[in-house]
Amino acid sequence: MGLTGLAIFKQLPKTNCKDCGQPTCLAFAMQLASGKAALDQCPHVSDAAKEALDSASAPPIALVKIGKGEKEVALGNETVLFRHEKRFEYPTGIAIAVKDTDGDIASKVAGINKLVFDRVGQIHSVNLVAVVNASGDGAKFAEAAKTVQANTEFPLVLVSEDPAAMGSALEAAGANNPLICGANAANLEAMVELAKKYDAPLVVKGNGLEELESLVEKAGYKKLFLDSGAREVNKVLADQTQIRRQALKKFRPFGYPTITFADNTDPIQAVVDASVYIAKYAGIVVVDSADPADLLPLITLRLNIYTDPQKPIAVESKLYEIGTPGPDSPVFVTTNFSLTYFNVQGDVESGRINGYILPVDTDGISVMTGWAAGKFTPEKITEMLNTSGVADKVSHRKVVIPGGVAVLSGKLHELSGWEVLVGPRESGGIPSFIKQRWGA
Amino acid sequence: MAVTIAKEKWTSKVGEMELGTGAKAIKVGGETSLPFLHFEGEIPNRPVLALEVWDMEPTEWPDILKKPFDGVLADPVAWAKKNVEYGADLIAIRFMSAHPDFKDASPEECAATAKAVADAVDVPLVLIGCGIDEKDAAVMEKVGEALNGKQCLIGCATEKNYKTITAAAMVNGHSVIASSPLDINLAKQLNILMTEMNLPTNRIAIDPLVGALGYGIEYAYSIMERARMGALMGDKMLAMPVICFVGQEAWKAKEAKSPDEETPEWGALDKRAILWEVVTTTSFALAGGSIFILRHPETIKHVNTHFAKVMESNAY
């Protein structure tokens, strides 16, 4: 992370003792610089040097964890401003707020637990429950935290600026590494104390970036989430951008994940604001709604934005039924690149065609790329026709292949014995293709 | 340690396009910053929103989409007027009837419809073909001529038909939508070909063929981010406003169509469907989209509320 081998070498004992396994200190420094060795392999390095090197080699944004066990949420470790540069690493944690003044907390939490969506075989869900001390009453807050804790496996965000109330909530629900939310200029010391006591992550909220910076410096604690205090979407966007840019420039006070609050009173705008925060750098976004209609777009956007641009997403390679297909329904072959599959699926659906789609496993690459790379072949298509069970579902033996790979038809017919219909080059032509060619 | 606001020093800007004439004419583009980052540059124009009008009744549209247009879907002129009432900045006429699978309408018939709509509304027009390259070229030739001087946005020009459409735009004073499939280099290539015909760069809108939320939104999202940065760094062949056909994509998504009883775990269709078009739109605006072709009037309302907020300064 920025340090050259020579800069590291200056901090080493320069004794060439070989205890690290390298022939010289310089060689070890070079290995460190390229990330192939770790500093603790040198038993003689001084504490001062260690601290200097550790902080210089630390990632620009610390990785901070909330919760324990299977549902633990880790955030931070981001290295870029734009997903096309590399990729975003730790998907924004979505927290649903529950107020300690809410009527039936247990049933609200039960609703949150159900915010789990299946997308072509992958499961996506919200990640955290934020318990908000809306009552201002410590005992009530503790009671609510306890109830939430007892009813969900999601980690908690405890939201109160009153250290006494936070203390009681932590007594009730502090064992599982909740996020303490949090510290501000008025309560910093007391909140840091609590965070240290429970070894839990802490939100530091500043009134603007300047104050945030000074509070982070004063806190002297490393498990932090940052809150610039902004709540209007235009301001949050600016602050989130500043925090990410400065963190990547190694401005240490901003080297932590952030938390944002989509608390717009207009429920549609709250969803839109949250979607902006997901796209633009929020570690956590807290939303008030637990309505699946609000969460489905947010969870989907998060999935899309955090997709690795170098690694296409694939759908499971298996037989898909569109509509209510019968023995006479057409069979479409395509690849398992999710975008390709979704296009074919969408166009078959929009043509109101009952049919079968067989996405051949091409490691998630598209039709033409798959063909060029030898991953979309007559052999693979034949295998899929034979093993997917489609042969038992249809009485005919006709398969539609994408127009772009018309060249495969001869060999495919030879290998599979199926009659091969060359479909349109673009899936958008499927409805009219079927109208003209199927059953004719 | 004090906080020093990090500003990028951009050297160039997105071209500014003018559409329509008279009081309702609009400008798009012209930014010297990344989207909505007012602290580092100028954002002279907010993104603009068009509602679609078809020249034949869209029988396949879901009920939720048909409802706001009850009684006007078979009448392009009445439909266009309704869209203006709903607050659309532009009207996008889609000549579906020209498609050989439908009515195979002649370019002259399309031109007559375009003329009738243009006479009835005063907002700028986007004129879109049926999606068959050859037919679109023929239609745009006639339609462009019929609306000579109205500063419309016509298309979609592809690598196969750009010559005819570009010529039609140049002769009649229109701008062109340049469509290329999800690839920044292809987009650039088409822009080069069109400007080589002497079409000014500020009369091209890039159409990267967007996908909806959940259906490849991230590809176009990243292309837009890259194109905007290219534009700000001085690449003239990427310095065009981006047009996003969100309506046609969002309303294809299963999430915008699946009825409550089929997918109760997704929440109420009415809300989820609108949100699908809204969030697809606002996400693209955040990446750099400028012109949005939409279908539902509710979307216009919500997206404009959002735009009003993000167009407020966030300078430090």
Spell out the SS3 assignment of chain B.
CCCCCCCCCCCCCCCEEEECCHHHCEEEECCCCCCCCHHHCCCCCCCEEEEEEECCCCCCCCHHHHHHHCCCCCCHHHHHHHHHHCCCCEEEEECHHHCCCCCCCCHHHHHHHHHHHHHHCCCCEEEECCCCHHHHHHHHHHHHHHCCCCCCEEEEECCCCHHHHHHHHHHHCCEEEEECCCCHHHHHHHHHHHHHCCCCHHHEEEECCCCCCCCCHHHHHHHHHHHHHHHHCCCHHHCCCEEECHHHHHCCCHHHCCCCCCCHHHCCHHHHHHHHHHHHHHHHHHHCEEEEEECCHHHHHHHHHHHHHHCCCCCC
Partners of B287 on chain A (C-beta within 8 Å) are 279
Measure in Å the smallest separation between the Cα of B196 and chain A Cα atoms.
29
Q: Residue type for B304, please?
A: N
Mean pLDDT of the residues in chain B: 96
Residue found by looking up tokens 């919760």 in the block: A67
Strand, coil or helix: A133: coil
Report yes or no: A278 and A30 within 8 Å, Cβ to Cβ. no
* Cβ distance of B101 and A241 shorter than 8 Å: no
d(CA A150, CA A119): 29
Nearest-angstrom CA–CA distance, B91 and B87: 10
Residue contact A269–B309, C-beta within 8 A: yes
Tokens of B303: 């997206």
Cross-chain residue pair B215–A210, CB shorter than 8 Å: no
Residue indicated by tokens 């570009």: B166
Residue among B5, B60, B271 minimizing CB distance to A242: B5
Query: What part of A 207-236 touches B (C-beta under 8 Å)?
Result: 209-210, 213, 217, 232-235
Distance from the Cα of B148 to chain A's closest Cα (Å) equals 32
In this complex, how many residue pairs, one in chain A and one in chain B, have their CB atoms less than 8 Å apart? 156
Q: How many CB atoms lie within 10 A of CB A51?
A: 11
Q: How far is B256 from chain A (nearest CA, A)?
A: 10
* Least confident interval from A54-58, A110-114, A135-139: A54-58
Residue A91 in tokens: 């998907």
Q: What is the pLDDT of residue B77?
A: 98
Q: Which residues of A touch B60 (CB under 8 A)?
A: 350, 352
CA distance B173 to chain A (A): 32
- Using alpha carbons, select from A329, A317, A351, A327 the residue that is nearest to residue A400: A329
Of B218, B252, B309, the CB nearest to A307: B218
Residue B220 near residue B266 (C-beta atoms within 8 A): no
Torsion sign across C-alpha atoms A390, A394, A400, A405: positive
CB A270 within 8 A of CB A311: no
Cβ within 8 Å, pair B214-A304 = yes
Minimal Cα–Cα distance from B290 to chain A, Å?
A: 16
Which domains can be identified in chain B, with CATH numbers?
16-310 (3.20.20.20)
Which range among A323-337, A423-437, B21-35 shows the weakest confidence by mean pLDDT?
A423-437
Q: Which residues of B touch A246 (CB under 8 A)?
A: 3, 6
How far B4 CA lies from chain A's nearest CA (Å)? 9
Q: Which residue in chain B has the smallest CA separation from A115?
A: B265
Partner A, chain B 74-113, Cβ-Cβ below 8 Å? 101
Radius of gyration, CA atoms only, chain A: 28
- What's the gap in Å between the CA of B252 and the closest CA on chain A? 7
Residue of B nearest to A233 (CA): B310
Per-residue confidence at A97, pLDDT binned at 50, 70, 90?
very high
CA–CA distance, B3 with A430 (Å, rounded to integer): 57
Q: Do A301 and B6 touch (CB under 8 A)?
A: no
* Digit-coded pLDDT (tens) for A398-420: 999 999 999 999 999 999 999 99
> Cβ separation of B267 and A292 shorter than 8 Å?
yes
- Rounded average pLDDT over B229-247: 97
Assess contact for B130 and B94: CB atoms under 8 A: yes
Given this model, what pLDDT does residue B95 score? 98
Distance CA A119, CA A127 (A): 17
Cβ neighbours of residue A247 closer than 8 Å, sequence gap 6 or more:
A60, A61, A78, A254, A255, A256
Q: Return residues 27-46 of B near A (CB < 8 Å).
A: 36-39
State both tokens at A435.
């109208």
What is the rounded CA–CA span in Å between residue A275 and residue B222?
16
Q: Which domains does chain A have, with CATH numbers?
A: 5-57 (1.10.15.40), 64-305 (3.20.20.20), 320-437 (3.40.50.11600)
B266:A293 CB<8 A = yes
Record: contact A114-B314, CB cut-off 8 A:
no
| Interface mutation vs chain B, best among A340, A342, A365, A369, most B CBs within 10 Å | A342
Nearest C-alpha neighbor of B181 from the set A333, A425, A403, A363: A425
Of B233, B234, B172, B227, the C-alpha closest to B205 is B227
Burial of A2 (0-12, 13-18, 19+ CB in 10 A): exposed
pLDDT for position A1: 44
Interface with chain A: mutation pick from B1, B3, B132, highest number of A CBs within 10 Å: B3
In this structure, are residues B175 and B201 in contact, taking their beta carbons and an 8 Å threshold?
A: no
Task: Name chain B contacts of A435, Cβ cutoff 8 Å.
Answer: 101
Nearest CA in chain B to A235: B314
At A194, the pLDDT band (50, 70, 90 cuts) reads very high
| Best residue in B271, B284, B296 for a mutation probing chain A (most A CBs within 10 Å) | B271
Q: Shortest Cα distance from B6 to chain A (angstroms)?
A: 6
> What φ, ψ does residue A260 adopt, rounded to 5°?
-130, 160
Q: What is the DSSP letter of A119?
A: E
Q: What is the arithmetic mean of pLDDT over B70-84? A: 97
**Confidence check: pLDDT of B122 > 90:** yes
Task: Answer whether residue B141 shows pLDDT above 50.
Answer: yes
Phi, psi of B116 (to 5 degrees): -60, -45
For residue A2, the model assigns a pLDDT of 58
- Which residues, in sequence order, are CB contacts of A384 under 8 Å at separation 6+? A317, A333, A358, A360
Mutation target for A interface from B279, B284, B299, B300: give the one with most A CBs within 10 A: B279
In chain B the first and final C-alpha atoms are separated, in Å, by 18
Residues B13/B228, Cβ–Cβ less than 8 Å: no
Q: Pick the residue with more confidence: A49 or B58?
A: B58
Lowest mean pLDDT, pick from A297-306, A334-343, A392-401, B283-292: A334-343
Q: How many residues comprise chain B?
A: 316
Question: Which CA distances in Å does A406 have to A18, A180, A400, A411, A423?
Answer: 63, 60, 10, 10, 8
Assess A47–B contact: CB distance below 8 Å, yes or no.
no
Chain A within 8 Å of B221 (Cβ-Cβ)?
yes
Query: How confident is the model at residue A284, as a pLDDT?
Result: 98
What Cα–Cα distance (Å) separates residue A339 from each residue in A300, A402, B116, B288? 14, 14, 39, 22
B286/A279 touch (CB, cutoff 8 Å), yes or no? yes
Residue B247 Cα, gap to closest chain A Cα (Å)? 14
pLDDT at residue A365 in the model: 85
Q: How far is CA A394 from the centre of its chain?
A: 40
Asked whether the beta carbons of B273 and B257 are under 8 A apart, the reply is yes
Q: Euclidean distance between the first and final Cα of chain A, in Å?
A: 65
| Predicted confidence (pLDDT) at residue A440 exceeds the cutoff of 80 | no
With CA atoms as reference, report the closest residue to B162 among B170, B150, B172.
B170
Contact B274/A268, CB-based, under 8 Å? yes
Out of B3, B283, B305, whose CB is closest to A266?
B305
Structure tokens at B3: 């906080």
* Nearest alpha-carbon partner for A166 in A147, A126, A139, A184: A139
The mean per-residue pLDDT over the stretch A78-106 comes to: 95
pLDDT given at position A41: 86
For residues A379-395, average pLDDT: 94
Q: Give A79 to chain B, closest Cα distance, Å.
A: 16
Q: Work out the average pLDDT over B238-248.
A: 97
Tell me the two tokens of residue A341.
């599959």
Q: Which residue has the tokens 């100028």?
A: B42
Chain A, 315 to 334: residues with Cβ < 8 Å from chain B are: none
Q: What is the pLDDT of residues A7-25, one digit of tens each?
A: 888 888 889 998 888 899 9
Neighbour-count burial for A341-374, b at 16+ CB within 10 Å, e otherwise: bbbbbbbbbbbebebbbbbbbbebbbbebbbeee
- Structure token pair of residue B190: 């088409």
Give the SS3 label for residue A306: coil
Alpha-helix residue ranges (DSSP H) falling in A280-429: 292-305, 338-350, 367-372, 378-387, 390-393, 409-416
Tokens of B213: 């939320």
Selected for mutation to probe chain B from A114, A233, A234 (highest B CB count within 10 Å) is: A234
B271 touches chain A (CB under 8 A): yes
Query: Rounded to an integer, what distance in angstroms lies between the CA atom of residue B201 and that of residue B17?
Result: 9
Q: Answer whether A241 sits within 8 Å of B37, measured CB to CB.
A: yes
Task: State the smallest CA–CA distance between residue B265 and chain A in angstroms.
Answer: 7
Q: What is the pLDDT of residue B1?
A: 62
Q: Tens of pLDDT along B192-227?
A: 999 999 999 999 999 999 999 998 899 999 999 999
